Chain A
Amino acid sequence: MSVFDGLRFRKVYSPIHNLDPRIKFVYVISIFVVAILFYQIIPLLFLFFLQLPFVLLARVQRQWLRSLRGASFLAGFIFIVNVATTYFTSGYTLLAPNVENAAAMTLRFVVLVESFSVFFLTTSPDHLGLALEESRVPYEFAFAFTTAVRFVPVLAEEAQTIMDAQKARGLELEKGSLLKRIRNYVPVLIPLIVSAIRRSLELAEAMESRAWGATKKRTNLYLLKLRRGDYALLAITVGILVVAIYVRLFVPIPTITQLL
């Protein structure tokens, strides 16, 4: 469940944690867009290392590493599928550019994971809800979203308990063929889904009995306000976007195989 651990927010104070979630989100989306723009490994590597100052400033390196480790399985899968398809389509030859291309695709995925990880690690669910509300998202939706985010670790913990309970009944998750292994997860997924639904119904009842939605017009104790750091991040984001689009359009990007 290390993937979820890499997304779990922990209360720490750092310059990154104090940034406005809206600007941070714009930044993450920009990184996302830039990662999609390029398919060469050099700019993607650059993008990967660009996040490091954020991670270090926010002091979340350990959790961030854990989320990368959690993504490693899927990353490996992407790499293998890419190499395999080019291997078969290029007439059963393994070419260096093909491998490099597969590595670039994998890196693209890793960049997406790392930027989202930084966002969720440094943004509290409350902040996130506030940001949604102030972006004119109806409160019901904002609330549903923050609740969903908040319950991810709870569900992860529950999944662990369910796995334990089924293992105690002789279920061996890592046994059998690939298809069998996937099917092994049915006894874990069904209780997880059922209990999530049951939990949500209970939550709804508990909230309604505490007069949720009684007042139509809500006000907030804390309001989001853009500060100097936020403007700085916005400038950096715009800068990254401009540079990226310029490079994409006008600068020929060599591959590593060409450089060698």
Chain B
Amino acid sequence: MIVAEDVHFSYPNKVEALKGVSLTIKDGEFVAIMGQNGAGKSTLVKHFNGLLKPALGTVRVDGVETKKTSVATLARNVGFVFQNPDHQLFSETVEDEIAFALKNFGFEPEVIEKRVTWALNLLALTQYRKTSPFLLSGGERKRVALASVLAWDPQMLILDEPTIGQDHEQKEKLRQFIMQMQTQKKTVVIVTHDVEFVAECNPRVVLMKEGKIVADGVGKEILTDPALLELSSIVLPQIAQIFTKLSVLGLPKDIIDIYEAKEIILKAQESGLRK
């Protein structure tokens, strides 16, 4: 469980990135943090594993105050995958890259071997086991970075812009993977601009603007509120756009799920609503 209370944070260049953010993320929750560039999304999630410490206020992870412990200790429970995989890949082989964190956490060699195999398999990287991560494509490097964090099976996972540079198939796999983590009662926090991806996953959405949380609720409500999204320079998901336009026909506006949309349209067609 992550509890942030009235968190304030300023960067050394005096930019006030967080202006009093309070947020509770329960175990097993799936949260998407959205908002325009510079809204403070990344700054906020960096507080969740102690990379940044609040100037005012507190952040507690499983009851432990982040100010009073090290990143390495927190990282054992909170996995953080950075946006750009090139900021972390350095090993000679993909295998070593994935084993890096496991070694840091002091796992036994046999366990490391097992976990590496498991993580490679999970992200369809087994064929690249002995390849240099630098020879892989952008999307593959991103998966190696993800695998290197998943390998130690953290209870909470933070993904910064996980869908950038991924094709549709990989995005779909990522979505399924997050769902799978959900069934294991793991907490997943994503920071993203990808409104379609969020609409497909339908998580809890936290909307940020200028260092503050402006909205917090289920995806279906927030992603279908044009006024709210415009405030944060986010476009409605395409399905929501269509249903906003169709609302003159008396159809509901708050639809982001493609199957639900299909049902409603078919039903409307049956009842002879045409124009």
Contact = CB atoms under 8 A, between A and B. Distances in A.
Contacts of B134: 194
Nearest to A172: B72
Interface string A18-57: 0000000000000000000000000000000000000000
Interface stretch (B83-91, B122-130, B252-260): B83-91
A165 B152 CA distance: 15
Which 9 A-B pairs give the minimum distances between C-beta atoms? A170-B104, A190-B90, A169-B101, A168-B80, A165-B88, A165-B82, A167-B71, A165-B87, A162-B87
B46 A164 contact: yes
B261 interface: no
B51 interface: yes
B87 A169 contact: no
B87 A191 contact: yes
A166 B97 CA distance: 11
B90 A168 contact: no
Interface in A187-239: 187, 190-191, 194-195, 198
B86 A170 contact: no
Given A168-B75, A171-B72, A191 B104 contact: no
Given A168-B49, A170-B101, A162 B71 contact: no
A90 interface: no
Contact of B71 (A161, A168, A195): A168
Contacts of B89: 191, 194
Interface of B: 46, 49, 51, 70-72, 75-76, 79-80, 82, 84, 86-90, 100-101, 104-105, 134, 148-149, 152
Given A164-B46, A164-B51, A194-B134, A169 B86 contact: no
A191 B90 contact: yes
Given A158-B87, A161-B87, A170 B82 contact: no
Contact of B75 (A161, A162, A169, A187): A169
23 contacts: A161-B84, A164-B46, A167-B51, A168-B49, A168-B51, A168-B75, A168-B79, A168-B80, A168-B82, A169-B75, A169-B88, A169-B148, A170-B75, A170-B101, A170-B104, A171-B100, A187-B88, A190-B90, A191-B86, A191-B89, A194-B89, A194-B90, A195-B84
A198 B86 contact: yes
A190 B100 CA distance: 14
A172 B74 CA distance: 12
A164 B75 CA distance: 11
Given A168-B75, A187-B90, 6 more contacts: A162-B87, A165-B80, A168-B82, A191-B90, A194-B86, A194-B90
A249 interface: no
A171 B97 CA distance: 13
A186 interface: yes
B90 A186 contact: yes
Contacts of B86: 191, 194-195, 198
B157 to A, nearest CB: 11
A158 B82 CA distance: 12
B160 to A, nearest CB: 10
A198 B135 CA distance: 12
A170 B88 contact: no
A165 B80 CA distance: 8
Interface centre among A166, A169, A187, A191 (most CB of B within 10 A): A169
Nearest to A5: B12
Contact of B70 (A172, A190, A191, A198): A172
Most buried by B among A161, A168, A194, A198: A168
A170 B149 contact: no
A162 B46 CA distance: 13
A187 B100 contact: yes
